[in-house]
Amino acid sequence: LTDKCNMLCIMCSKTTRQENPPGLGRRGYIDTGLLSHALRDFRELAGDRGLVALHWVGEPTLHPDLPAILRVIDGLGLGFALVTNGIRFLPSLGDLAARLRGTRLVSFSFNAATAATFRVVNNSMQYERVYAHVEHLLEQRRRVGRTDEIGVAVTFVVLKENLDEAVAFRDY
């Protein structure tokens, strides 16, 4: 959806690549009309078993048309998985994701069990905000009766900077 990101995680290829340091290179969003056309084509090929993975070298929640894109995917009878750092996964987006039949997985790239380590690993001071967004989605999923249909994951890339928190994270 985009190659933009609002974090500089120490393990991300966008952060560590020498040929494209942060702030340089291509930055943009896929055109929503073009994406809608591609999704219709995908639906013809995949049928109602298609799953659209919304992630890769960019933060999908930065796309200004994300709610509309999710509705298009859902309207086509496709499923989707969204991988996010969670900063912009606002309660309104969590409410929408819980309601859409196409939502299969929302995965939050967390990488820390404490705010201090979150700051080091993700170069962000938004630990509490992301935590609240995860909790909100879990509550909305429960409220609409879809706890068995929508996966919610929090991921942890093991690094020397967060290794001592791996067990605490696992136990979360």
Q: What is the mean pLDDT of each run of 10 residues along the chain (172 residues)?
A: 90 65 64 95 91 89 96 96 97 97 96 96 96 97 96 96 95 84
pLDDT at 15: 63
Long-range contacts of range 167-171, CB-CB < 8 Å, 24 or more positions apart? Answer: 168/113, 168/114, 169/110, 169/112, 169/113
- The beta strands (E) that lie in 94-138 are given as 103-109
Nearest to 36 by CA among 70, 5, 2, 10: 70
CA distance linking residue 51 with residue 42, whole number of Å: 9
pLDDT at 110: 93
pLDDT at 24: 46
Q: Which strands make up the sheet holding 51-54, listed edge to edge?
A: 51-54, 79-84, 103-109, 151-155
- C-alpha distances in Å from residue 70, one per residue of 76, 77, 83, 124: 10, 11, 13, 26
Nearest to 141 by CA among 155, 131, 151: 151
Instruction: Tell me the one-letter amino acid at 102.
Output: G
